A and B are shown apart, each in its own frame.
Chain A
Amino acid sequence: MTAQRPRYAEEAPYKIHGGCGLMGLCDESGTLMSGEDAILAMAIQHDRGNGLGGGFAGYGIYPEFPDHFAFHMMYHDVRAKEDAEALFDEYFVVDLAEPMPTRPVKRITDAPLLWRYFLNPHPRKLEEAESSAEDYVVKAVMTINATVDGAFVASSGKNMGVFKGVGYPEEIGHYFRLEEYAAHTWTGHNRFPTNTPGWWGGAHPFALLDWTIVHNGEISSYGINSRYLETFGYKCTLGTDTEVAAYLFDLMLRRHKLPLELACKALASPLWEEIDRMPAAERELMRSLRAVYGPAMLNGPFAIVLGFNGGMVALNDRIKLRPLVAARTGSVVMVASEESAIRAVMDSPDKVWTPKAGEPTVARVAGMDWPIHGDLHLSPTEVSCAVTGTETSCDFEEARA
């Protein structure tokens, strides 16, 4: 494989420092909202980015293909597209392949080829693989990211998609014509990296199947978080805090089967003096949780929004070093880095509040299932590989072991 085309690893040979702005918008009744509001919320927070990355995730956007895995693809060139499509044809039944609808936007240049595919695993191949459809899809994502030079899977979940690129988020939103989509949950991100990335795949949200992460912050505990994850087989090759957060959620929710609320408590632990004051049963639980997951605690400033098909969770660091404001109007829950974004979207919110440090803000879409992972059985190595798409994280021998 040549190393001519951009990959995450080339973007980040060392840890990226940076700040950002973010938003999350969810209608718990499941009512769909146009992407216009998401764009507006991010446009208001324009100054929180520097034009080097913006992106959105929308859930419920493909009602005509609710049971298909929607692959949002980025291709460096036609050959990459042909190579990836050969893999799609081999392993999947593709029911629709089309270019992503875009419109010209003045400052958006150097866009990769953007295509989307609605597909399902090839029934016979899936049977031969003796795995769940989710595992099958993630392995395909991993293979494409690692072995198809110049191709990158931006998202791969059902009835959702990630729209991201290099530019300010409002430009990216207009470019992808988000006002034409309707979603029950939107997340958005505005990036202010302090290095100079030039690659569309490096923008947020990060995605694996239907779950996405947008993240504002700098994890000062990155060193031990990544070493902790390595003991479980994850490979932190990007050098980004977001990657670490994604794996920690995977570890605690999927592999250790912790409820989301407790996973959030482990990532942004209460202070010991608060734990000491809790009722006995809760105190014992929190004491164990904190002592066992101490190396997983995300220490340092962050605000994070985890999106998935059942809703979203927003979480702040344990002493609230990064902004996060929340609001509710009827069944609509919104979080953003700045209240101005909320005021721009909601005329007169029923309630606006500042979530406490480490206190998760949860929005659940009625009638949608938790947990959020589906039938997934991947090893940490495979997850790392699928998320980052770098060769260095993909040791296939190890992944099989």
Chain B
Amino acid sequence: MPGTYIQPEFRVKIDYDKCHKCGRCVQQCGWGVYSFNERPIPDDSKCRACHRCVTFCPAHCITIEKNALAYKDNDNWTVDARKAIWRQAETGGVLLTSMGNPRPYPRIFDHLLLDACQVTNPSIDPLREPMELRTYLGRKPDAVSVEADGAGGYRLAPNGGMTANIQLDAPIIFSPMSYGSVSLNVHKSLAMAAQRLGTLMNTGEGGLHADLYPYQDRVIVQVASGRFGVDPEYLGRGAAIEIKIGQGAKPGIGGHLPGEKIDKEVSSTRMIPQGTDAISPAPHHDIYSIEDLRQLIYALKEASGYKPVGVKIAAVHNVAAIASGIVRAGADYIYLDGFRGGTGAAPQVIRDHIGIPIEVAIAVVDQRLRDEGIRNHASIVAAGSIRSSADAAKAIALGADVVAIGSAALMALGCHLCQSCHTGCCSWGLTTQKPELTRRLDPEWGAERLVNLVSAWSHEIQEILGALGVNAIESLRGSRERLRSVGLDAQMNAVLGVKPVGM
């Protein structure tokens, strides 16, 4: 019997006429594709198309091609469906995968178009005029109350102003990715970039490594169901605390970091024994209802001297009501993760079939909070496949205060979206703990790439604002009047609160 029915997805082709026989591809590949016998010999079945070898081949003699192998046509039984069945028949297991949902569900962002000024109001040139992106993350009071300052002016009345908000120089923060799922060098890159950009990185659920303490004012510390790395000192270090309830890629299920990834550093950061599996339960075992969440929110506020406490949830069918409950429970921000959000490891069936698009989640949550008059009580952070500054601007126009980027940040660091994070063999040294791989990312270089990416997007958002004739991000936030939809049905337009083009 054959070992597997599954044929390789890719063909690794080497032009041996050009090949230097230097063996660098052998060394670079984290998947063990190459063996060397006078020249590199690829094993196609191991290739993930991550392009590490292609990028580093000095002779540019490697190409990766799709395996053109023909399958009998069948629109119903796709090749992927057939392969999944073969694999499960072989293993009897849940299929694991990583990164975001790749399936061809509608991408609503691609059906939304932004406005621009012509004649009746002027567009503004962001190269000549101020164009402000500063955003405050956190709860705002309903009104500002002032008192006379005795010198003919006014000052804030006691408790009359905004408290415990985090100033962001751009409405873009980094998504939670735990140390353990990503390498320490990734965390360092994110933390250094967040500090230079005046924005935030997020520890994810894996604790805060001591090397990140210098950047702690720009770090959100996460409290997830496994409570890894959580102690009073941890809570005291973060700029804000985030309770992770769910994740867009795997709503309703927990996490599992295999023991092989728990080396000494991860072990001490997560506060668990070396080599043991780190298992996050599906629910928090002290949160079985909204009132339990309220208790945890306030426990964390008490423990941290009333830092902002946010709650991250996956966007699911009833997200508006859930979000309303979370805001009323005292959250300072609510982090919505759409169904295309990334992951370091998730069952494929969950990732590909659960949740709702982030565009819809933003629209319905923002509207629900407005209907209830509590929109100012919490900021909305939107994530789950923000692919560009245009997606960010559209998310903000729909009602988000801030967008969070995870996959895009990893791509800035080298990720080629091969969806194999769960293997721990990342050739780019990102989602692995193997020292020979993690050292491939220099945090200084990584931080620079991240700063470049966010700066570029910020400039582009400024261009968009200028075209819209406004010079501050708050004038775009929730301004759905500046969006039109193309190719969406009337019902979806109503859900999004967006008019179709032409109206």
Question: Would you call A223 and B162 a contact (CB within 8 A)?
Answer: no
Q: A271-B130, A291-B136, A319-B129 are in contact. Are A285 and B146 (CB under 8 A)?
A: yes
Partner of A224 from B117, B144, B162, B477 at Cβ < 8 Å = B477
- Residue total for A at the interface (Cβ-Cβ under 8 A): 49
Q: How far is the CB of A389 from chain B (nearest CB, A)?
A: 23
Question: Would you call A256 and B143 a contact (CB within 8 A)?
Answer: yes
Q: A271-B132, A300-B470 are in contact. Are A194 and B479 (CB under 8 A)?
A: no
Question: Would you call B121 and A300 a contact (CB within 8 A)?
Answer: yes
A residues 189-247 in Cβ contact with B at 8 Å: 194, 217-218, 220-224, 226-228, 230-232
Q: How far is the CB of A50 from chain B (nearest CB, A)?
A: 13
Interface: A392 (CB within 8 A):
no
Chain A 3-38 per-residue mask, 1 if CB under 8 angstroms from chain B, else 0: 000000000001101110000000000000000000
B residues 457-503 in Cβ contact with A at 8 Å: 468-472, 474-482, 503
Instruction: List the A residue with the shortest CB-CB distance to B372.
Output: A231
Interface: A354 (CB within 8 A):
no
Question: Would you call A18 and B162 a contact (CB within 8 A)?
Answer: no
Chain B hits for A226, CB < 8 A: 481
Chain B 118-152 per-residue mask, 1 if CB under 8 angstroms from chain A, else 0: 00111010000110101010001101111001000
Chain A hits for B371, CB < 8 A: 231
Q: How far is the CB of A141 from chain B (nearest CB, A)?
A: 26
Interface: A45 (CB within 8 A):
no
Partner of A221 from B122, B143, B165, B475 at Cβ < 8 Å = B475
Interface: A269 (CB within 8 A):
yes
A372 to B152 Cα, complex, angstroms: 19
A297 to B474 Cα, complex, angstroms: 8
Chain B hits for A221, CB < 8 A: 470, 475-476, 479
Instruction: List the B residue with the shortest CB-CB distance to A233.
Output: B373
Chain B hits for A227, CB < 8 A: 370, 478-480
Interface: B154 (CB within 8 A):
yes
Q: A19-B120, A271-B132, A299-B470 are in contact. Are A223 and B143 (CB under 8 A)?
A: no
A285 to B480 Cα, complex, angstroms: 29
Interface: A96 (CB within 8 A):
no
Chain A hits for B376, CB < 8 A: 231, 292
Q: How far is the CB of B176 from chain A (nearest CB, A)?
A: 25
Chain B hits for A224, CB < 8 A: 474-479, 481
Q: How far is the CB of B266 from chain A (nearest CB, A)?
A: 38
A219 to B88 Cα, complex, angstroms: 59
Partner of B475 from A14, A17, A273, A299 at Cβ < 8 Å = A299
Interface: A288 (CB within 8 A):
yes
Which segment, of A76-84, A125-133, A257-265, faces chain B?
A257-265
Instruction: List the B residue with the shortest CB-CB distance to A261.
Output: B154
Chain B hits for A318, CB < 8 A: 471
Chain A 136-171 per-residue mask, 1 if CB under 8 angstroms from chain B, else 0: 000000000000000000000000000000000000
Instruction: List the B residue with the shortest CB-CB distance to A317.
Output: B471
Chain B hits for A284, CB < 8 A: 155-156, 161
Chain B 372-384 per-residue mask, 1 if CB under 8 angstroms from chain A, else 0: 0101100000000
Instruction: List the B residue with the shortest CB-CB distance to A318.
Output: B471
Interface: B153 (CB within 8 A):
yes
Question: Would you call A291 and B470 a contact (CB within 8 A)?
Answer: no
Question: Would you call A269 and B155 a contact (CB within 8 A)?
Answer: no
Q: A282-B153, A299-B470 are in contact. Are A231 and B373 (CB under 8 A)?
A: yes
Question: Would you call B471 and A291 a contact (CB within 8 A)?
Answer: no
Chain B 359-374 per-residue mask, 1 if CB under 8 angstroms from chain A, else 0: 0000000000011010
Q: How far is the CB of B286 from chain A (nearest CB, A)?
A: 33
B residues 379-422 in Cβ contact with A at 8 Å: none
A residues 277-315 in Cβ contact with B at 8 Å: 281-282, 284-285, 287-289, 291-295, 297, 299-301
Question: Would you call A258 and B144 a contact (CB within 8 A)?
Answer: yes
Question: Would you call A223 and B140 a contact (CB within 8 A)?
Answer: no
A26 to B261 Cα, complex, angstroms: 76
A318 to B481 Cα, complex, angstroms: 21
Q: Which of A218, A224, A257, A271 counts the most B-chain CB atoms under 10 A from its CB?
A: A224
Interface: A272 (CB within 8 A):
yes
Q: Which of A221, A284, A295 counts the most B-chain CB atoms under 10 A from its CB?
A: A221
Interface: A87 (CB within 8 A):
no
A261 to B370 Cα, complex, angstroms: 27
Interface: A86 (CB within 8 A):
no
Chain A hits for B479, CB < 8 A: 221-224, 227
Chain A hits for B124, CB < 8 A: 319, 321
Chain B 86-128 per-residue mask, 1 if CB under 8 angstroms from chain A, else 0: 0000000000000000000000000000000100111010000
B residues 169-199 in Cβ contact with A at 8 Å: none
Chain A hits for B145, CB < 8 A: 256-257
A99 to B130 Cα, complex, angstroms: 52
A257 to B481 Cα, complex, angstroms: 29
Q: A223-B482, A294-B477 are in contact. Are A230 and B472 (CB under 8 A)?
A: no
Chain A hits for B373, CB < 8 A: 231-232
Q: How far is the CB of B155 from chain A (nearest CB, A)?
A: 5
Question: Would you call A223 and B480 a contact (CB within 8 A)?
Answer: yes
Chain B hits for A269, CB < 8 A: 472
Question: Would you call A294 and B474 a contact (CB within 8 A)?
Answer: yes
Chain A hits for B476, CB < 8 A: 221, 224
Q: How far is the CB of A290 from chain B (nearest CB, A)?
A: 8
Chain A 111-125 per-residue mask, 1 if CB under 8 angstroms from chain B, else 0: 000000000000000
Question: Would you call A294 and B162 a contact (CB within 8 A)?
Answer: no
Q: How far is the CB of A61 from chain B (nearest CB, A)?
A: 32
Listed A/B pairs (17) with beta-carbon separation below 8 Å: A14-B503, A220-B469, A220-B470, A222-B479, A223-B482, A224-B477, A224-B478, A224-B479, A227-B478, A258-B144, A262-B144, A269-B472, A272-B134, A287-B161, A291-B140, A299-B475, A300-B469
Interface residues of A (CB under 8 A from B): 14-15, 17-19, 194, 217-218, 220-224, 226-228, 230-232, 255-259, 261-262, 269, 271-273, 281-282, 284-285, 287-289, 291-295, 297, 299-301, 318-319, 321
Interface residues of B (CB under 8 A from A): 117, 120-122, 124, 129-130, 132, 134, 136, 140-141, 143-146, 149, 153-156, 160-162, 165, 370-371, 373, 375-376, 468-472, 474-482, 503
- Knowing that A288-B144, A300-B475 are A-B contacts, what are 12 other residue pairs whose CB atoms are under 8 Å apart, sorted by A's residue number? A217-B121, A221-B470, A222-B481, A223-B480, A231-B371, A256-B143, A256-B144, A261-B154, A272-B134, A288-B162, A300-B121, A319-B124
